[in-house]
Amino acid sequence: MSRSKASKNAFMPTDSLIGKGTEVEGALACEANVRIEGKFNGVIESRACVTIGEHAVARSDISAREVVIAGKVYGDVQAEGKLTITPTGQMFGDVLAASSLVIAEGGILNGSSKMEPKKDEQAEALPAVDMHLLETEAG
């Protein structure tokens, strides 16, 4: 391996996996993608993607760039980007933030969701309508 490749790999984040049959309790904070296949109780924070596998159970509040739920999540989710609930996914909690929300047929969301446009998109929103003009046109 050349020296430049070795130095590049030294700074690349490693994906994290909590495997099937594993139970973890505590707080998880990481820069890399996280995949939970076992059971996790606690807070999960990632600057990348958090995936809750099909047979996983997370009793967690999750904050990440992107979240994919294929198992069960009991807690609130905050995603900078997309939150996806797959056909096997079940979420019991609130969507505190997400730029897009995808719930596949069969997926369950039992809670409330709140979505707001990004700050730069709010500036491009349609201008306010002048009610006086509407009254004049209506006769």
User: Which residue bears the tokens 């109780």?
Assistant: 41
- Residues facing 43 on adjacent strands: 27
Distance CA 38, CA 97 (A): 25
The pLDDT of 48-64, averaged and rounded, is 96
Reported confidence tier of residue 9, pLDDT bands at 50, 70, 90? very low
Average pLDDT, rounded, for the chain: 83
- Model confidence pTM above 0.85: no
pLDDT score recorded for residue 82: 94
Token pair of 49 as six digits: 């993607």
Bigger pLDDT: 129 vs 52: 52
pLDDT score recorded for residue 1: 45
The pLDDT of 76-97, averaged and rounded, is 96
For 49, the 3-state DSSP assignment is strand
Beta carbons of 116 and 99 less than 8 angstroms apart: no
Amino acid at 103: I
Classify each residue of 9-22 as buried b or exposed e, where b means 16 or more C-beta atoms within 10 Å of its C-beta. eeeeeeebebeeee
pLDDT score recorded for residue 127: 53
